[in-house]
Amino acid sequence: MQAIPWWAREGFWAKTAVFVTALSFVILIWLTFDTMKQIMAGSVRVPDYSVINQRISYVADDERGYQVPKIGPEEPLFGKKLTEEEAAALVRKGKLVIQGRNCMNCHTLLGNGAYFAPDLTKAWLDPAWGAATIREQLMVQFLMDPTNNARTFGSGRKMPNLKLTEDEAKAVVAYLKWMSAIDTNGFPYNFKPIPQGGE
């Protein structure tokens, strides 16, 4: 072993490996604590579930150089203002539907998932719903019967009927509305939101 310089020895690299791994992991844990604080529902970046009682838009922020969600005046979903608990329960239900129907093996949410269908991060604000006033109703209709309400834009690629009940469809809409209020650092870029009056 004499001839081997210290930097080529097994023992040196074994210790280095342990040290580097431990250090990286400690830093990751520390960052995780900070990040968790910043993405709890009710934080600045990820708003409380009751945000579905308000108008949500996606507007240019000159300082940050991209669009950010803006929480506007009161504009309850389905015309009914919910308490914080009701809102939380509805959004939770929406998430359970999204997982139970396996939406993410066709769609992306926040850009993660599958690529067979449009990204749903800002589906609530999509201009294809036409006008903000009829959007909620159209979304529920579409989700309950995507075959007969298909758009497909000439692609022929339809969403299948996943047999959502009306309650389930409404919960999904609540979910999509809440999700559109998350600050995603400007993703999707250059999105063209639905006109909502007063903007």
Of positions 49, 52, 54, 173, contacts other proteins by CB under 8 A: 49
The DSSP letter of residue 106 is T
At how many degrees (to 10) do helices 166-179 and 132-144 cross? Answer: 130
DSSP readout, 4-23? S-GGG-HHHHHHHHHHHHHH
Phi, psi of 128, deg, nearest 5: -65, -15
Using the minimum distance from each CB to ligand HEC, give the nearer residue, 48 or 168.
168
Taking CB within 5 to 8 Å according to partner kind, which of ligand HEM, ligand HEC, other proteins, none is near residue 150? ligand HEC
Binding map of ligand HEC across residues 119-148, x = CB under 6 A, - = no contact:
-x--x--x----------------x-----
Please state the closest distance from residue 158 (CB atom) to ligand HEC, in A: 5
**Cβ(121)–Cβ(184) under 8 Å?**
yes
Query: Residue 35 or 148: which CB sits closer to ligand HEC?
Result: 148
- Residue 112, phi then psi, degrees to nearest 5: -110, 140
Q: Smallest distance from the beta carbon of 188 to ligand HEC, in angstroms? A: 11
Per 3-state DSSP, the chain is made up of helix, strand and coil in percentages (nearest 5) of: 50, 10, 40
Residues that bind ligand HEM (CB under 6 A): 111-112, 114-116
Residues that bind ligand HEC (CB under 6 A): 97-98, 101-103, 106-107, 116-118, 120, 123, 126, 143, 150-152, 157-160, 162, 172
